[in-house]
Amino acid sequence: MYHYFKSSAIYSLVVLVAGLILTAPCLAEPSRLTTAQDCQKQDLAFVSKTFSNIPPRKELKKSPTAVELYEFDESPRGNRSPFLMVHGLRGEHYPYFRWQKVANHLAADKKFNSNFKIYFARYPTGKRMEETVPLFRKAVDRLYNACNKRQISVMALSIGGNLVYESLTDEETADKVRVLMTLGTPFHGSPLFSMDWMQYSVYKRLAWPLSRIDHSLSLRLYFSRNENLLADFGWDDYDRAIPTIGKFRSRLPLGPKGNLVQDTVTNERLRAIHEENPHLKKKIIAYSGYLKNPYLESKTARFIESTAMYPVTLFWVKFPAHLAREHPVLRVLNRDIASIDVCKSKKENIKSPYLYALNDGITPVSSALFLSAPSQKGDQKYKLESFLTDEKQIAELRPLVDVKLGRVFSNIDHL
């Protein structure tokens, strides 16, 4: 299934999707769900006793060494099923792991609250997936056993979805998870995390010397401290869009440089996981979103944006982005991803060269929806390329959406 919604409906849709997984009514009487006698000690043996046991904010600055589990509130679980929320990048350093508003919204829904008890997972996002996945599998096992072997429903943000998905490649772990809801998860990775590809696009696209240096240096500095993102979430090139250029180098000091070759830039790790586990898609409800940007408009509109609107963009987006304000940063990255240079054959086959114009500042819509490669479909109707260069094309992608349910939100960023 596939749906397209405006961003204003996101919270109500979270509850709606949660309702989709309520296939079995709670067996206990309503009164029994609020009594302490039904909550046995073993139910909470492997999770913190109360949410207040989560370290205070100042202690959250230190990354965990394992996957930690916490409950949202002190109410006894009773016969409710576990609902696990998994944060994204750097979420381990924030109160409630950035889930507080969503958790409050879900808990306020009587139907949801009578069927589910909310738990949180905290894990080190600076580690490689190969280190964290085994730890997360153990955490799933602990929660599963603590909840009397009830299947777990999971909601995950960004790379938290990758963590859960990769954990499900273990059959025993997959059997313990009922459904995985993902928000902006880069299943195919992101062009942003392909360093040489991004550097080449800066080299080719930006004309102003200071802009070239600014973008190139910012990328190098950030990823020098976050190399795991490059290794784990670089683009898997399922759409065969990465160009082969070879070595390039700007004459500017600190300018863009690199060696862009399709075979070496492609994330083979992700490709192998997808090829070996196509069945896992049926457990996934994938949410995606995108920000409006000039690359979705006509050439005239882009010219107006870059000239008449430049002062507005400078003061409301670029300056705040340099102060590390999250939403302005995502708007800058949104445009960088949208304008990334693609291989010549793709430019010739589509109306617009901006293959990833629909993205949320981190993840292209095609990646968050976990679209299948067109070549994997035998029927003629599936030969359409899964390129999202225009909002009108979203509805045309339904044949390529093979997760349990896919949804797209308009004008919403990664957070």
Query: Domain boundaries in the chain?
Result: 2-183, 191-410
Q: Copy the structure tokens of residue 13.
A: 């849709």
Find the DSSP H helices in 206-325.
209-224, 227-233, 262-265, 268-276, 299-307, 310-313, 319-322
**Least confident piece of the model among 143-147, 282-286, 381-385:** 381-385
Give the list of residues 6+ apart from residue 297 with CB closer than 8 angstroms, or none. 305
Q: Which pLDDT score, from 0 to 100, does residue 9 have?
A: 46
How sure is the predictor about 237, in pLDDT bands with cuts at 50, 70 and 90? very high
Choose between 315 and 281: higher pLDDT: 281
Which residue would you say has higher pLDDT here, 182 or 345?
A: 182
pLDDT at 25 over 50: no
pLDDT digits (tens, 9 = 90+) for 158-171: 999 999 999 999 99
35 pLDDT higher than 60: no
Neighbours of 69 (CB within 10 A): 21
Question: Over 90: is that where the pLDDT of 413 sits?
Answer: no
- Identify the CATH number of the domain defined by range 2-183: 3.40.50
Which pLDDT does position 211 carry in this prediction? 86
Q: How many residues does the chain have?
A: 415
What is the identity of the amino acid at 79? N
Tokens of 241: 């869009």
Across the range 312-330, mean pLDDT stands at 69
Q: Which two tokens stand for residue 20?
A: 């989709």
Q: For residues 202 and 216, give the distance between their C-alpha atoms in angstroms, rounded to a whole number.
A: 7
Distance separating alpha carbons of residues 338 and 389, to the nearest angstrom? 9
Q: What is the pLDDT averaged over residues 274-280?
A: 95
pLDDT in tens, 255-274: 999 999 999 999 999 999 99
- Burial of 259 from C-beta contacts in 10 A (0-12 / 13-18 / 19+): middle
Per-residue pLDDT of 192-233, as tens digits, reads 999 999 999 999 988 888 889 988 999 999 999 999 999 999
Distances, alpha carbon 59 to alpha carbons 95, 127, 413, in Å? 10, 19, 28
Q: Are 407 and 288 in contact (CB under 8 A)?
A: yes
* Confidence at residue 1, expressed as pLDDT on a 0 to 100 scale: 46
CB 15, CB 112: distance < 8 Å? yes
Count of Cβ atoms closer than 10 Å to residue 180 Cβ? 27
Considering 70-74, 126-130, 239-243, 304-308, the range whose residues carry the highest mean pLDDT is 126-130
User: Do the beta carbons of residue 1 and residue 404 sit within 8 Å?
Assistant: yes
Q: Contact, 91 vs 124, CB < 8 A?
A: no
**Beta strands, E only, 158-293:** 177-183, 246-249, 257-260, 284-290
69 Cβ neighbours under 8 A, 6+ residues apart = 46, 47, 48, 84, 119, 120, 121, 122, 139, 142, 143
Q: Which of 74-78, 117-121, 223-227 has the lowest mean pLDDT?
A: 74-78
151 pLDDT more than 90:
yes
In single-letter form, the type of residue at position 399 comes to P
* Proportion of the chain above pLDDT 70, given as a percent: 78
- Place 340 in a pLDDT band, splitting at 50, 70 and 90: very high
- Please give the pLDDT value at position 108: 93
The residues pairing with 6 across neighbouring beta strands, listed in sequence order, are: 410
